[in-house]
């Protein structure tokens, strides 16, 4: 046995020997550390950003041999996968940990499970009490389609649709659509979507102040009526039947959202509701974050396309906010000042962050103005709206 040769082989096989080979990986490691800083120190969507950042870190660190790789991107978005579909048997037999976890992303299971959890945590009461808020939720999808138009100048239609959905401000929906339409852009789109959701308190207030007058922001809204238990139970069943009959492609997302909500409201499945809100949500968030992060391999991620996606995502997000505000202003005018237009900005999904921002802007204009419950209506309507938008895009481009 040649001990010296063993040491030479060990040194050659170590990660340090490979670090200088790909500068993109080094940049991604720095980026992962920056995201970890944002998640841990600045608390920017930490539950997902920490997972995504660690996934980026793991996938960009040098690994000993092909057999030890945690993630094999060529199995998922390589030419063979595009031509013949993913070889799941090979993934299960020879895949690394992140390959196995990525099955949940690729098959669209994780976003749907997250929607069950979101449904179990959401109170549709404010929306049922003020059904007009659904129109604000619909208007706040404007950014999706404006970004789609712009993106279609630079990308294929499927990719443009996936980029546009960033404007829905709904991470699981963006992942659900992108994994089918443009899996090669998944990392960039997921990171952009979650980053902008985290940056809502910075992005939205200037747009709100630009598009509304102080007088409009001061408007106090009437207290919402009390919604009965019967209405809360009938609502998810009714919406599921109606939407799935009208647009079957929305069934995976909207069906799961309403199922989660029914678990919460029916009063006889408290254990299931508790599991959906806590254990299930936490487990899926963990798997989703780390496996999405793993797709951000330096050589593929660091490109002009990524920068363009981030810019288009910001446009989409801003225009969605503007769309909600403008319809809010219209409704304010039609109701002779009974609706505060700020609640329109909460029509972008991001629950409950967008509603809180609308509330705090209302408070700044008038310290006795409490808009939170009024803003929750358009906020949850936005979740339904973005799910419907994703269903339409899936039906057209899927």
Partner 1 sequence: MFNAIESVTIGESFALAGVSMSIIMGVLACIMVLIYLMSGFFKLLEKHNPALKAKIDALFSKKTEPTEASEPVATEEKDIVTARGSCGNIVLKNVTDREAAMIMAIVADKMQTPLNELRFKSIKKID
In the complex, the residues that contact partner 1 under the rule CB under 8 A are: 43, 127-128, 131-132, 134-135, 137-139, 141-142, 145-146, 148-149, 152-153, 156-158, 160, 228-231, 233-235, 238-239, 242-243, 246-247, 266-268, 381, 384-385, 388-389, 392-393, 395-398
- Minimum separation from the CB atom of position 93 to partner 1 (A): 31
81 within 8 A of 38, measured Cβ to Cβ = no
Tokens of 190: 């997921």
Residue closer to partner 1 (CB basis): 6 or 238: 238
362 within 8 A of 383, measured Cβ to Cβ = no
Residue closer to partner 1 (CB basis): 127 or 314: 127
Residue closer to partner 1 (CB basis): 139 or 375: 139
- Minimum separation from the CB atom of position 349 to partner 1 (A): 13
- Minimum separation from the CB atom of position 132 to partner 1 (A): 7
The closest alpha carbon to 163, from 186, 195, 194, 138, belongs to 186
Cα distance between residue 28 and residue 26, in whole Å: 5
Residue closer to partner 1 (CB basis): 78 or 398: 398
162 within 8 A of 182, measured Cβ to Cβ = yes
Neighbours of 162 (CB within 10 A): 31
Question: Which class for 77: exposed (0-12), middle (13-18), buried (19 or more C-beta within 10 A)?
Answer: middle
- Minimum separation from the CB atom of position 313 to partner 1 (A): 17
- Minimum separation from the CB atom of position 200 to partner 1 (A): 12
Residue closer to partner 1 (CB basis): 192 or 372: 372
Residue in the block written with tokens 């040649």: 2
> Residues near 3 by Cβ (< 8 Å), separated by ≥ 6?
none
Cα distance between residue 3 and residue 5, in whole Å: 5
- Minimum separation from the CB atom of position 396 to partner 1 (A): 5
> Residues near 106 by Cβ (< 8 Å), separated by ≥ 6?
76, 86, 179, 183
> Residues near 23 by Cβ (< 8 Å), separated by ≥ 6?
298
Residue closer to partner 1 (CB basis): 120 or 142: 142
- Minimum separation from the CB atom of position 388 to partner 1 (A): 5
- Minimum separation from the CB atom of position 299 to partner 1 (A): 27
Cα distance between residue 347 and residue 132, in whole Å: 12
136 within 8 A of 332, measured Cβ to Cβ = no
Cα distance between residue 329 and residue 213, in whole Å: 10
Residue closer to partner 1 (CB basis): 101 or 388: 388
Tokens of 46: 């930490």
- Minimum separation from the CB atom of position 300 to partner 1 (A): 23
Residue closer to partner 1 (CB basis): 105 or 139: 139
Residue closer to partner 1 (CB basis): 119 or 298: 119
């Amino acid at each position: 046995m040649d001990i010296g040769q063993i040491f030479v082989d060990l040194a050659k096989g170590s990660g340090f020997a490979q670090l200088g080979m790909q500068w993109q990986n080094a940049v991604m490691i720095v980026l992962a550390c920056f995201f970890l800083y944002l998640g841990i120190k600045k608390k920017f969507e930490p539950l997902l950003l920490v997972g995504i950042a660690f996934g980026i870190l793991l996938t960009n660190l040098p690994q000993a041999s092909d057999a030890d790789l945690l993630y094999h991107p060529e199995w998922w978005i390589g030419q063979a996968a595009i031509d013949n579909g993913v070889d799941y048997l090979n993934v299960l037999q020879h895949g690394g940990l992140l390959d196995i976890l990525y099955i949940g992303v690729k098959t669209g299971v994780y976003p749907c499970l997250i929607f069950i959890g979101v449904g179990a945590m959401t109170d549709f009461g404010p929306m049922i009490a003020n059904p007009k808020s659904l129109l604000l939720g619909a208007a706040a999808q404007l950014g999706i389609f404006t970004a789609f138009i712009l993106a279609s100048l630079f990308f294929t239609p499927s990719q443009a649709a996936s980029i546009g959905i960033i404007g829905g401000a709904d991470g699981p929906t963006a992942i659900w659509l992108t994994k089918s339409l443009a899996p090669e852009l998944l990392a960039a789109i997921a990171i952009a979507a979650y980053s902008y959701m985290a940056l809502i308190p910075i992005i939205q207030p200037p747009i709100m102040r630009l598009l509304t007058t102080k007088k409009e922001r001061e408007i106090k809204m009437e207290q919402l009526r009390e919604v009965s238990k019967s209405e809360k139970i009938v609502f998810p069943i009714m919406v599921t039947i109606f939407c799935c009959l009208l647009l079957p492609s929305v069934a995976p997302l909207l069906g799961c959202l309403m199922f989660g909500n029914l678990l919460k409201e029916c009063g006889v499945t408290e254990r299931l509701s508790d599991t959906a809100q806590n254990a299930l949500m936490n487990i899926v968030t963990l798997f989703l974050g780390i496996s999405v992060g793993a797709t951000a391999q330096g050589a593929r991620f660091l490109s002009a396309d990524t920068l363009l996606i981030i810019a288009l995502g910001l446009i989409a997000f801003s225009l969605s906010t503007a769309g909600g505000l403008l319809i809010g202003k219209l409704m304010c005018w039609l109701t002779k000042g009974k609706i505060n237009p700020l609640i329109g900005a909460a029509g972008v999904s991001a629950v409950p962050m967008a509603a809180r921002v609308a509330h705090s802007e209302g408070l700044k204009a008038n310290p006795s103005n409490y808009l939170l419950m009024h803003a929750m209506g358009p906020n949850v309507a936005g979740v339904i709206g973005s799910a419907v938008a994703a269903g339409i895009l899936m039906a057209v481009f899927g």
